[in-house]
Structure 1
Amino acid sequence: MAHLELEGIVQRYGSHTVVDGVGFRVETGSIACLLGPSGCGKTTLLRCIAGFEEIAAGEIRVGGRTVSRPGRRVPPEQRQIGMVFQDYALFPHLSVAANVGFGLAALAISDRQARVAELLATVGLGGQGNKYPHELSGGQQQRVALARALAPQPQLILLDEPFSNLDVGLRERLSLEVREILKSQNITAVLVTHDQHEAFAMADELGVMAAGIIQQWDSPYRVYHQPANRFVADFVGQGVFLSGMVVDESRVEVELGVLESRLPLECSQGCEPCGKGCGVEVLLRPDDVIHDDRSTLLAEVRHKAFRGAEILYTLRLESGVEVLSLVPSHHDHAIGERIGIRLDVDHVVAFKTPTRAFPLTAQAIRFHR
C-alpha cells in the first residue's frame, strides 16, 4: 500500500517553475530517495511534502489523506511527518534527552523518559542523554536528530541532505546505520541528496531529478545499469560512451567488437528499438571493462587512481578513445603499459547519435547473456 503519493506536483517561484509535474508513490516501510544536482528542485519538493510550501498544481497524500493541493495545505505540525535537517537543528541549550523528548510534551514524564531512553538505545546513544550537542561528534548529533524525528512516531520521515556535513567514511557508515534503524521501525522515508553513494546505500527506490522533472524512478540497480536517458547515464556512476552502429535489435558494433544484449537494444529517450544502421553512443561502466592478461585486445594505461582494494584505470584504445576499468589492486600496472582487456556487458545501454564512421578492429567479440 502506498503511504506517500504525489500526483502532478508543480511549484513555482514567480514565473520560474522549480518542480514541474512530478508524481510518484512510496510504499509503507519503503525508503525512497530524490537524487539530483543542486538546483534541480529536490529540496523544494521535500519542503512541499513537509508542508512548508504551497503547491501550484497537483496533490500530495500521506496515509491516504490529502495534505496539499492548490488552495488547501494542512500545516506541517498536523501531517505526522518527522524531519531531519542538513544542519541537525538541535537545541544547543538542551540536553540530548531533552532534544529527543522535545515533541513529547503531551506524554506523562515517566512515559516520555521511557520513550527517550528507548530511542537513544535504538540509535546507539544509550546513556548519553545528559550530554549536550556540543559534546557530541557530528555523527552522534545526526543520530540525536534522527531520534528526535522518530520520537512522536510519525507516519513519514523526511531527510534533507542529512550526511553532507560529515566526512566520507562516516557518511557511508552512518547511511547504512540509519537505513537499518528506519527498517527496524518500519518507517516510510524520503531522502534528498546529491550524493549517489548515499542514495545507493539507503534507498529501496530512487528518483533522479533534473530541471524540476523526475528523469527516472526505479530501483538503484536499474538506475545504474539501465538508465532511462542520457542525463541519468551521465549523472549516475562513472562511464564513457563509445560510438557504435546498430546491427539488429539486440546487437551493436563498437570499436571493441559486437556486443550482444540479453535485452532488446534501447537507444532513444523514448525507449524505442533502433533500426539497423542507426548510429549510437554505447555506455561502458568501469565494471564492464575487465582486465584479462589472456586477451589479445590491448589498451594503454593512461592514468590510474588507487582506491585501496581496487585501482581505477583510464585506458586508451587503438582509436585514441579512452575507457575506464575497475581492477583489483594486486594488478598494479605502470603508466604507458599495454594490458589485455575484455568486455563483460550484461546488456547494451545506448543512445541515438547521428550516423558517423568509427574505427573497428577486425576481431568481433560476442558476449552472450
Structure 2
Amino acid sequence: MVNSIAQLEADGIVQRYGKHTVVNDVGLRVEQGRIACLLGPSGCGKTTLLRCIAGFEDLAAGEIRLHGAVVSRPGWRLPAEARRIGMVFQDYALFPHLTVDDNVAFGLRGQPAAARGQRVEEMLRLVGLASQARKFPHELSGGQQQRVALARALAPNPALVLLDEPFSNLDVDLRERLSLEVRDILKSCGTTAVLVTHDQREAFAMADEIGVMAEGRIQQWDTAYNLYHRPRNRFVADFIGEGVFVSGAVLNPRQVEVELGVLDSAAAVDCHELGCAQCGKRCRVDVLLRPDDIVHDDASPVLAQVLHKAFRGAEILYTLALPSGRRVLSLVPSHHNHAIGERIGIRLDVDHVVTFRQEPAPPPARS
C-alpha cells in the first residue's frame, strides 16, 4: 500500500468531444521528482490527457489531484493559471518581441525586481544560456529556443512541468541530445514532469516511467525496460521497439517450441482461457522475437537468408528468411557485412519469452 502523497494523481479520467470519447477511464500516479511520459501514436488521446492535467479541458468523469488537492472533477476545474504548472509547448511559444531574459521573467511578474533578476540569471545559467540573455528568440537556434522555453517554465518554481511534444521541431541528432540535457536539468531541480511524445527514443531517454496509450487508454504504465521485454499486450509489444511474431507450440507451462528451437520461459505461458496447464494439448501461441533475440553465429547449423539490411553504424539490422519462409530480424555488429541473398548462421538467445494467445484466422470471404 502506498502511503506517500503523489505530486500528480489521476483516477478514472474521461474526456469527450460531443459523443466522441478521447480519454477513457485513465488513471496514473507520478511521485515527486519523477519524470513520466505519455507515449503513443497520433490520435491516441495523450495530448488531450495532458490538457486535462493542465486545466485546459473539462472532465466528463474522474478526478485529478496535485499534491493531494483536487484540481479537476466533473463540473469544476481549478483555472490553469492557479495550478502552479509550467508548460513547454511544441512550438516553444516564446514572445518574439521580448529578449531571452524578459521571456524567462514573464512568469515572475509581481516579484521584486532584484529577486526577479536573480531568478532569471539562475535559470539561464541552469540551461546554459547566460551569455544569450539580451538576444531575441529569432537570433537563437531551435535547441536554444527550447531551453529558453524550459527556463521560463521552471522560473516560477512550479509544482509540475508539462512538456507537449517539445522536441518534434528539431532534427533527430539534436532531439536526442537535448532530451538528455532536459532530463538532467529537471532532475537537478527535483522537478516533477510529464512529457507527451510519439517518439520512443525521447521517452526512453527522458522518462522514469512511461504510459503507452492507444484508443484513449493507458495500455501499460511501466519502465522502458519492462515495456520492451515484458509487454502486457500485443499493442505494446508491436508499438515498442522492433520485432516479429512467430508461431509456437506450448510443450508445457514453461517451454515453447518455435522453428528455431525450444524456448525456456521463466514465467508460465498463458495460451488458454484456463491457463496452459488446463489446455491438455500442444496449443499454439504467437511468440515475440526481438532483433537482439536472433544472434548471428557462423557455427550454427540453422541458416537464414539475408533479405534486407539497414546499416546503423555500429550495427546492421538484417531482415532474414528462415527455412520455412518466415521472416525475423537480427541486430548484428556491423563488421559482419553480408550481402543480400547470402545465407548466414543464426541461433536463439532469448532472455524474456513473450507469448500471446494465437489469434484465430479471419473466416474466408463468401463468394
TM-aligned CA deviation for residue 296 of structure 1:
1.2
Which whole-Å deviations, capped at 9, do the CAs of 1:248-267 have from their partners, x for residues lacking one?
11111111111001222245
TM-score by length of 2: 0.94
Provide closer, same or farther for how the CA distance between residues 90 and 245 of structure 1 changes in structure 2, counting only shifts above 3 A: same
Q: Quick check: 1:327 aligned with 2:340?
A: no
CA contact (8 A) 2:40 2:46 kept: yes
Per the alignment, residue 363 of structure 1 pairs with none
CA contact (8 A) 1:279 1:355 kept: no
Provide closer, same or farther for how the CA distance between residues 16 and 271 of structure 1 changes in structure 2, counting only shifts above 3 A: farther
Per the alignment, residue 163 of structure 1 pairs with 167
TM-aligned CA deviation for residue 355 of structure 1:
7.6
Instruction: Tell me the distance in 1 between the aligned counterparts of 2:114 and 2:48.
Output: 39
Per the alignment, residue 185 of structure 2 pairs with 181
Q: Quick check: 1:199 aligned with 2:203?
A: yes
Provide closer, same or farther for how the CA distance between residues 188 and 266 of structure 1 changes in structure 2, counting only shifts above 3 A: farther
Match of 2:30 among 23, 26, 29: 26
Q: Quick check: 1:263 aligned with 2:270?
A: no
Letter in 1 for 2:261: G
Match of 2:109 among 105, 109, 113: 105
Per the alignment, residue 69 of structure 2 pairs with 65
Letter in 1 for 2:173: G
Instruction: Tell me the distance in 2 between the aligned counterparts of 1:227 and 1:137.
Output: 38
CA contact (8 A) 1:280 1:355 kept: no
The 10-residue stretch of structure 1 (147-156 or 121-130) with the greater mean CA deviation from structure 2 = 121-130
Instruction: Tell me the distance in 2 between the aligned counterparts of 1:265 and 1:227.
Output: 14
Instruction: Tell me the distance in 2 between the aligned counterparts of 1:236 and 1:34.
Output: 13
CA contact (8 A) 1:278 1:355 kept: no
Per the alignment, residue 251 of structure 1 pairs with 255
Instruction: Tell me the distance in 2 between the aligned counterparts of 1:355 and 1:294.
Output: 37
CA contact (8 A) 2:271 2:283 kept: no
Provide closer, same or farther for how the CA distance between residues 121 and 84 of structure 1 changes in structure 2, counting only shifts above 3 A: same
Provide closer, same or farther for how the CA distance between residues 53 and 135 of structure 1 changes in structure 2, counting only shifts above 3 A: same
Match of 2:308 among 296, 303, 306: 303
SS state at 1:127 partner: helix
Match of 1:346 among 351, 354, 357: 351
Instruction: Tell me the distance in 2 between the aligned counterparts of 1:226 and 1:192.
Output: 22
TM-aligned CA deviation for residue 25 of structure 1:
0.4
Instruction: Tell me the distance in 1 between the aligned counterparts of 2:120 and 2:332.
Output: 47
Runs of 4+ displaced beyond 4 Å: 270-274
TM-aligned CA deviation for residue 71 of structure 1:
1.3
Provide closer, same or farther for how the CA distance between residues 266 and 219 of structure 1 changes in structure 2, counting only shifts above 3 A: farther
Q: Quick check: 1:124 aligned with 2:142?
A: no
SS state at 1:121 partner: helix
Count the aligned residue pairs. Answer: 355
Provide closer, same or farther for how the CA distance between residues 293 and 45 of structure 1 changes in structure 2, counting only shifts above 3 A: same
Per the alignment, residue 137 of structure 1 pairs with 141
Instruction: Tell me the distance in 1 between the aligned counterparts of 2:338 and 2:344.
Output: 8
Question: Once the two structures are aligned, what percentage of the paired residues are identical?
Answer: 71
Instruction: Tell me the distance in 1 between the aligned counterparts of 2:290 and 2:60.
Output: 40
TM-aligned CA deviation for residue 61 of structure 1:
0.2
The 10-residue stretch of structure 1 (273-282 or 76-85) with the greater mean CA deviation from structure 2 = 273-282
Instruction: Tell me the distance in 1 between the aligned counterparts of 2:123 and 2:58.
Output: 33
TM-aligned CA deviation for residue 273 of structure 1:
5.1
SS state at 1:290 partner: strand
Which whole-Å deviations, capped at 9, do the CAs of 1:133-155 have from their partners, x for residues lacking one?
00000000000000000000000
Instruction: Tell me the distance in 2 between the aligned counterparts of 1:324 and 1:119.
Output: 46
Letter in 2 for 1:85: F
CA contact (8 A) 2:271 2:284 kept: no
Instruction: Tell me the distance in 2 between the aligned counterparts of 1:344 and 1:79.
Output: 50
Provide closer, same or farther for how the CA distance between residues 209 and 335 of structure 1 changes in structure 2, counting only shifts above 3 A: same
Letter in 2 for 1:280: V
Letter in 2 for 1:83: M
SS state at 2:167 partner: coil
Letter in 1 for 2:216: G
SS state at 1:282 partner: strand
Per the alignment, residue 366 of structure 1 pairs with none
Instruction: Tell me the distance in 2 between the aligned counterparts of 1:192 and 1:320.
Output: 39
CA contact (8 A) 2:38 2:196 kept: yes
Which whole-Å deviations, capped at 9, do the CAs of 1:247-302 have from their partners, x for residues lacking one?
1111111111110012222457x995574522111000111111111111111111
